[in-house]
Structure 1
Amino acid sequence: MVENHLSVKSKKFIDDLKLYLFSSGKNEQETKEITEELEAHLYEAEQNGKSIDQIVGASPKEYMMSISSEMRTDYRAWSKYIPLIIIGSMSFSIFGDLLQGTLSYSLLKIIGTILYSILFLGGVMIAFRYVARNQVSRIMEFFIYLLPIILSMLFIGGVLIVDSIYKTPFIDFGVLGSLLIGFFLLCFIIIFSFWAKTAILPVTLLALHLPTFLLSFTSFNVEIQLITSMVITYVLFGLYLLYVVKKAKSNKEVIE
């Protein structure tokens, strides 16, 4: 394939362009045709000693926006991704609840979770478009993707506080229902991570919930568990960030 012979910088631009067009609601087949044509054009240019900057100009952002403006928005085809992203956002709270037992939700929490998913979806789409068209570093990309996760988690935290004050009817899924939901979400996260080519979702889930789960088996009091859990969470995020930095440096050395 032509893409395998492109420079690292050109490959990243193609990936960013695909992401930008996807998050802008463009037709998948049309996006594939345009990016493949651009790949061939970049490959030919690089074979003649030209850089990607000579092809896309001084502003990759304007180049992407120009291509996007010439394409139609395919709302029907793109809408199939909305349930995938909503399910991914719901997994944060559901996995935390699964670690504490079977799933049982109040009507207020179900409504709040739906709103939280919409907030997460909007944040992810904005993050995708910003990262793609602004050609940010891997470190900045990590924090930008993390932002909608943090904001949506704060929102669902507020819902939980309100839910503890105002009581509404409960729906109990039982042991079997809870296990099936957990298995479905686990499969989804694995598939989504490979498709998106990022480990941000599983890393965030592990960092947020694994420390609390493991510490629950210790004899530490609640305060010690909370503090230790927070420290481990920050350490896990730090390790992943270190990995992202090293990978970015490695790619930079290849480009140079």
Structure 2
Amino acid sequence: MLSNEGQKFLDDTQGYLRTKGIREADIISFIEDAEVHLIEGEKRGKSVNDIFGHAPKEYANQLAKEMEVDKKGNYKLLLYFIINLLAFTMMKSVFFSEADHRLSYSLIELIGYPIMIFVGISVLIWGMRTASFKRKRTEFLIMYITGAIWFLSIFSIALLNNFYGTTFIKFTATESFILVGIVVLFAAIVNIKFGGWFTLAYLLVPIALEYVFVMIDLSSIIGMYVQQIILFIVIYMLLKIHIKLEKGKYTNKKRDSIIYR
């Protein structure tokens, strides 16, 4: 049985390597081998530091240099993020934000939000890397700060748009519903095809949360902040669950291939 310290080392290493864009098969293969070494070492009374050294992040960095970067997988992940975010924001605008259910955008939004998407991705990666190999409280604090930075970046665009934005493009209600339908359908297909059924949760859970937030009326600045933090934490938790499911799927596939040889 693996100790809590050993399990945390495996989870942190796996998460850290994933933020480096390493191929999933290589990550899981290493984690499985490392788990065996940890179990055997702990039986002999050794700690994680005795087995893998006193600098786990440096060890993970060295591993990343020796492993293959999964460019195709990274592009897929980026596609998931962009498509789901686009579908979510469009649904939010049509169903919850706009009284006339019409999509409309200013130049500030059209230019600012795409920039903020890449800022958000960079901040999330930074947060996950920084939180790795830290104590649980420190990890939570880092992810909380990451969520706050994400909120401030989004809020700054909304604030600029509120004072200086003028409508650049506006669709009719019918056009808006058609566009939302097309984007949501495309997002669902992309998620199922490349990530499996679970990845639909990245789309459905945030919109369900948005519905709850609208029902309890979190329209103040503090309410918006709380909303973004909760949304960020939920997505982070979904990502953790997804990682565990993918690990289980890969392990079962590997075991089946050995059995049928």
Rate the CA distance shift 1:192–1:141 in 2: closer, same or farther, 3 A.
farther
Do residues 81 (structure 1) and 77 (structure 2) align? yes
Aligned match of 1:129: 129
TM-score normalized by the length of structure 1: 0.66
Report the alpha carbon displacement of residue 89 of structure 1 after superposing the two structures with TM: 5.1
Aligned match of 1:148: 146
The unaligned stretches of length 5 or more in structure 2 are 192-196, 238-261
Aligned match of 1:40: 36
Alignment of 1:213-224 (within 5 A): 213-215=214-216
**C-alpha separation in 2, matches of 1:156 and 1:124:** 14
Q: Give the 3-state SS of the residue equivalent to 2:103 in structure 1.
A: strand
Amino acid at match of 2:134: Q
Report the alpha carbon displacement of residue 204 of structure 1 after superposing the two structures with TM: 11
Give the share of equivalent positions with the same residue, in percent: 21
**C-alpha separation in 2, matches of 1:89 and 1:152:** 13
Report the alpha carbon displacement of residue 100 of structure 1 after superposing the two structures with TM: 2.4
Q: Give the 3-state SS of the residue equivalent to 1:191 in structure 2.
A: helix
Alignment of 1:92-171 (within 5 A): 93-94=89-90, 96-97=92-93, 98-101=95-98, 102=101, 104-108=103-107, 109-132=109-132, 134-137=133-136, 139-164=137-162, 165-171=164-170
Alignment of 1:173-252 (within 5 A): 173-178=175-180, 191-192=198-199, 206=209, 209=210, 213-215=214-216, 226=219, 230=223, 233=226
Rate the CA distance shift 1:228–1:35 in 2: closer, same or farther, 3 A.
closer
Amino acid at match of 1:130: T
Could you give the per-residue CA deviations for residues 8-41 of structure 1, whole angstroms, max 9, x where no partner exists? 2211211111111111111222222212111111
TM-score normalized by the length of structure 2: 0.65
**C-alpha separation in 2, matches of 1:104 and 1:227:** 22
Rate the CA distance shift 1:147–1:185 in 2: closer, same or farther, 3 A.
farther
Cα-Cα RMSD: 3.9
**C-alpha separation in 2, matches of 1:147 and 1:180:** 35
Rate the CA distance shift 1:144–1:205 in 2: closer, same or farther, 3 A.
farther
Rate the CA distance shift 1:231–1:96 in 2: closer, same or farther, 3 A.
closer
Rate the CA distance shift 1:24–1:215 in 2: closer, same or farther, 3 A.
closer
Cα pair 1:25 1:73 within 8 Å, conserved: yes
Cα pair 1:25 1:75 within 8 Å, conserved: yes
Amino acid at match of 1:99: F
Rate the CA distance shift 1:116–1:64 in 2: closer, same or farther, 3 A.
same
Cα pair 1:90 1:113 within 8 Å, conserved: no
Do residues 29 (structure 1) and 31 (structure 2) align? no
**C-alpha separation in 1, matches of 2:205 and 2:142:** 16
Cα pair 2:90 2:103 within 8 Å, conserved: no
Cα pair 1:92 1:205 within 8 Å, conserved: no
Cα pair 2:106 2:161 within 8 Å, conserved: no
Report the alpha carbon displacement of residue 233 of structure 1 after superposing the two structures with TM: 4.0
Amino acid at match of 2:165: Y
Aligned match of 2:53: 57
Cα pair 2:104 2:167 within 8 Å, conserved: no
Of 151-160 and 170-179, more deviation after overlay is shown by 170-179
Rate the CA distance shift 1:90–1:156 in 2: closer, same or farther, 3 A.
farther
**C-alpha separation in 2, matches of 1:163 and 1:226:** 17
Aligned match of 1:70: 66
